[in-house]
Amino acid sequence: MSEPTIEQFVTSDGYRHHCRRWVPEGRPKGFVLSLHGIQSHSGWYGYSSGKLCEAGYEVVFVDRRGSGLNQFERGHARHYDRLINDVAQALEDLRIRRNEIAPTVPVTLLGLSWGGKLASVVAARRQELIDGLVLLYPGIRSHFEASIMDNVKLSLAREAELFEKLIPIPLDDPVLFTGNPESQSFIRNDNLSLRDVTVSFLLANRELDGLTRSAPPEIRCPAIMMLAGKDRIIDNPATTQWYRSLASQERAFFEYENACHTLEFESDRDQWIGDLTRWLDGLRLTT
């Protein structure tokens, strides 16, 4: 299995991000920038990233600010635009590298779980940066969406300027992510997993929710969505309806009937990785 290097890059506000990079032998067939979920980090997805690398793709999996290997301002984001700009800068850097070593191959943005929400907004706002969009069980619509009372409390916290107050992420049971006991133990004992986020992050998330709802008419690049049939986090019917409204004329859809949320931890994970690889193999430069 291909092993990644751990690298750093600094965004325009001076924040130092960590990422894992898998580099294939020879000229890459394409470049993939990956975004993780609200609780996870790039270290969860070594198997699929390594398989994509073995198939000829360079994969850069970024740890979101305040997550994973990024210990500064843990669980915090000052503004939703900051999160969008972080991804845009990572894509710009990746495109520079693509232009230097393989200028005719595509750059794809992959977002999974909560990262699928952020990826969708970036795809709508900065479509010139990507040639394809991959959404793995994306957090477009969730069974854990904030209630009216939650939103009232969040607005009161904003008025009181409690921006750095930490709020527990309501996904503390590993069973929500996977039915695999070994993977459940990994999640439970993972010191890099995020357990809390700040009020400021939740305000940014609320803005991203609104932007996600209005994103479909602006997403025109080829797209693929993969869902887990037994997902206890994602509202699959509502997410599928959202996906069908994309402006993209090239859409692929897969649902793995017996899979739980985190496809990475499924015993038959080579199936969805193979499906994704074949889709990537058919992707062409669009921007």
Segment 186-214 shows an average pLDDT of: 96
Residue percentage of the chain with pLDDT more than 90: 93
User: Which residues are CB-contacts of 273 (< 8 A; sequence separation ≥ 6)?
Assistant: 48, 51, 52
Look at residue 268 in the predicted model and tell me its pLDDT.
93
The single-letter code of the amino acid at 107 is: V
Look at residue 179 in the predicted model and tell me its pLDDT.
94
Look at residue 204 in the predicted model and tell me its pLDDT.
97
- pLDDT surpassing 80 at residue 2: no
| 147: DSSP letter | P
- pLDDT surpassing 70 at residue 1: no
Tokens of 244: 């069908």
Mean pLDDT computed over every residue of the chain: 96
| DSSP output for 54-77 | HTTEEEEEEPPTTSTT--TTTT--
Backbone angles phi, psi at 16, to 5 degrees: -95, 110
- pLDDT surpassing 80 at residue 286: no
- pLDDT surpassing 70 at residue 162: yes
Residue percentage of the chain with pLDDT more than 70: 99
- pLDDT surpassing 80 at residue 287: no
Segment 131-143 shows an average pLDDT of: 97
pLDDT digits (tens, 9 = 90+) for 35-69: 999 999 999 999 999 999 999 999 999 999 999 99
Distance separating alpha carbons of residues 286 and 271, to the nearest angstrom: 27
Confidence class of residue 78 from pLDDT cuts 50, 70 and 90?
Answer: very high
3-state secondary structure of 255: strand
Tokens of 212: 């996600």
Look at residue 145 in the predicted model and tell me its pLDDT.
85
pLDDT digits (tens, 9 = 90+) for 215-260: 999 999 999 999 999 999 999 999 999 999 999 999 999 999 999 9
**Longest distance between any two alpha carbons in the chain, whole Å:** 55
- pLDDT surpassing 80 at residue 171: yes
Distance separating alpha carbons of residues 55 and 23, to the nearest angstrom: 11
Q: What residue spans define the domains of the chain?
A: 5-281
Confidence class of residue 168 from pLDDT cuts 50, 70 and 90?
Answer: very high
5-281: CATH topology is Rossmann fold (3.40.50)
